[in-house]
Amino acid sequence: MSSPSAPATASDALRAAELFRKARRVVILTGAGISTPSGIPDFRSEGTGLWSHNEPLEAASLTTFRTSPEKFFQWFRPLAGQIFNAQPNAAHLALADLEKHGIVITIATQNIDGLHQKAGSTKVIELHGTIRTLSCTQCFKKYESPPFLQTYIEDGTIPLCPSCNGILKPDVILFGEQLPQAAWNEAQRETRQADLMLVAGSSLEVLPVAGLPMQALDRGAHLIIINNTPTYINVRADVVFMDNVETILPEIVQRAIHG
């Protein structure tokens, strides 16, 4: 096992690649750090994270959305624009490449940006919801988001339901909302069956998702962590990379696929 604080070495990359080659079922747990190279800000980095400039319980809570939806939409607009225009980076593409080469992976993501799907990954569990769809708060009809988001991003028009004129809520999980039960159940089921978990770009600070790596370890799975900052479970990992996901992950994947 590599030291949680030591710099990654070529042997670490080889060890990680070997774990991928030997694995039968892999779960990839991704967080904000895999999407920051695509221009989407994370939530916690000091000075740059979204929460360093806004109080999350004020701006992005279910209560605020219900009582002052215009306040939520004003806060969400710049982020929606960044997500709407973002493209997958080398890390997203590397995971899609793994799947294309027959390595069985399930991606459980805390991100709402849909970049894994844009990159070509097909089995993606969206634990915190998605910006790709909107649901009416009155009649509950669901819509693909691009036609509505384009106008909202351009001029701030709050999206309204074509059927009943109710406000359309992005299908993302706000503070005060429970995780989508079906997605959470699927993530736990996949974790229990995995023999390898890779954590990529997550500080593992938000429960209950932060507990998934421990569930995997308790069932004998191997663990790889790639993150700029330490996580609570670094000491239990087989290999730890304290580095940029966009740099390290493609290297590991290339070694796993091509040896």
Rounded mean pLDDT of 189-209? 96
Q: Are residues 164 and 71 in the same domain?
A: yes
pLDDT digits (tens, 9 = 90+) for 100-159: 999 999 999 999 999 999 999 999 999 999 999 999 999 999 999 999 999 999 999 999
**Which band of pLDDT confidence, cut at 50, 70 and 90, is reported for residue 43?**
low
pLDDT digits (tens, 9 = 90+) for 164-187: 999 999 999 998 899 999 999 999
pLDDT digits (tens, 9 = 90+) for 211-247: 999 999 999 999 999 999 999 999 999 999 999 999 9
Confidence at residue 4, expressed as pLDDT on a 0 to 100 scale? 46
Q: In the chain, what percentage of residues exceed pLDDT 70?
A: 91
Q: Are residues 9 and 95 in the same domain?
A: yes
**Which band of pLDDT confidence, cut at 50, 70 and 90, is reported for residue 259?**
confident
Query: Is the per-residue pLDDT at 8 higher than 70?
Result: no
Rounded mean pLDDT of 41-49? 52
Q: Are residues 100 and 194 in the same domain?
A: yes
Q: Are residues 100 and 219 in the same domain?
A: yes
pTM assigned to the model = 0.90
CATH of the domain at 144: 3.30.1600.10
Q: Are residues 152 and 250 in the same domain?
A: no
Query: Is the per-residue pLDDT at 203 higher than 50?
Result: yes
The pLDDT mean for the chain works out to 91
3 state SS for the chain:
CCCCCCCCCHHHHHHHHHHHHHCCCEEEEECHHHCHHHCCCCCCCCCCCHHHCCCHHHHCEHHHHHHCHHHHHHHHHHHHHHHHHCCCCHHHHHHHHHHHCCCCEEEEECCCCCHHHHHCCCCEEECCEEEEEEEECCCCCEEECHHHHHHHHHHCCCCECCCCCCEEEEEECCECCCCCHHHHHHHHHHHHHCCEEEEECCCCCCCCHHHHHHHHHHCCCEEEEECCCCCCCHHHCCEEECCCHHHHHHHHHHHHHHC
Q: Are residues 78 and 146 in the same domain?
A: yes
Active site residues per annotation:
128
Q: Count up the domains in the chain and report the number.
A: 2
The residue range of the domain holding 35 is 1-40+88-128+179-259
Q: Are residues 29 and 92 in the same domain?
A: yes
Looking at 117, 148, 172, which one is the last position of a domain?
172
Q: Are residues 99 and 221 in the same domain?
A: yes
Looking at 116, 146, 172, which one is the last position of a domain?
172
Give the Cα separation of 108 and 31 in Å (integer): 9
**Which band of pLDDT confidence, cut at 50, 70 and 90, is reported for residue 60?**
confident
